[in-house]
Chains A and B, each alone.
Chain A
């Protein structure tokens, strides 16, 4: 899922300080799972902002809500009857949600309340790690189920670089060398012969090299 972290409170205070009616909108999707932008976080942010502006003697009405998803029009539509009551909206969704909310209500000021980080997994509660960079052409079948694009700092395709030492990456000794992980897994799977076949250069056109991407699934469209 998409992983995000809450923005520092001071940053959000600075964004909304010139308004008097603000709506905080959470998202019940990915950011709820990583506890950055769900209803609970909306309530905590709302309460924190109310405490700040009350002690500062500034009038500030803050309302709170959360949508099933902010990356779908039908859920964003649920705000249409109330969004005009607010001068600004703080969205705690990922970058996709913030943008889609701003796109749906294009004359409304929309601020992000979280920093969207990456697509990853939960190692444990509060510890998240990147696993996919959405390159658009999955090669996991050939790399023992471990992605060299997401797990190797240099996105090498044919094995480790010279900076791999004792299974760790030269970028940061806390990072496992992606290619060491791939080697170890292929060894367990009895597929080390994969290293004898050079991999062709990757076609990055399916990644960001082709500009902003779009999927059109005609089989799903009406």
Chain B
């Protein structure tokens, strides 16, 4: 299809979004990710019955945590699309990228960078 989507997105493959736990999402932010996009199958289409519904709940929980710890819940979003919807994937990748660019760099990444620079100096 040769669709274009932003190159700053790192894809982490999992067998099902049901594998994505709360701690995985939090660790991504701890590592300095500016935003995280969870791409699950369409609701009602999970091959493992309810994996994407579990992920939806966990994403919601992490959004609440992000707001409480001073990050913005907008930095995390879950989208539902099938493996055959390449055009839609490129579209949401661009959408999420634009959202994160507007939010600016993660305060965690900035804090880590300034700590590294202080050490170097």
What residues make up the interface of A, taking CB atoms closer than 8 Å to B?
9-10, 40, 43-44, 47-52, 54-57
Contacts and interface: CB of A to CB of B under 8 A. Distances in A.
B71 A55 contact: yes
A56 B27 contact: no
B47 interface: no
Contact residues on B (Cβ < 8 Å of other chain), bracket: 10 to 19
10 contacts: A9-B69, A40-B21, A40-B23, A47-B30, A49-B69, A51-B26, A51-B70, A52-B69, A54-B112, A55-B107
B108 interface: yes
Query: A44, A47, A49, A54 — which one has the most chain B CB atoms within 10 A of its CB?
Result: A54
Contacts of A9: 65, 68-69
Given A47-B27, A47-B30, A50-B30, A55 B22 contact: no
B9 interface: no
Nearest to A39: B23
Nearest to A8: B68
A48 B108 contact: no
B111 interface: yes
B13 to A, nearest CB: 22
B29 interface: yes
Contacts of B66: 51
Given A54-B108, A55-B107, A47 B70 contact: no
A55 B26 contact: no
Given A55-B70, A55-B71, A47 B26 contact: yes
Contacts of A49: 69
A210 B58 CA distance: 45
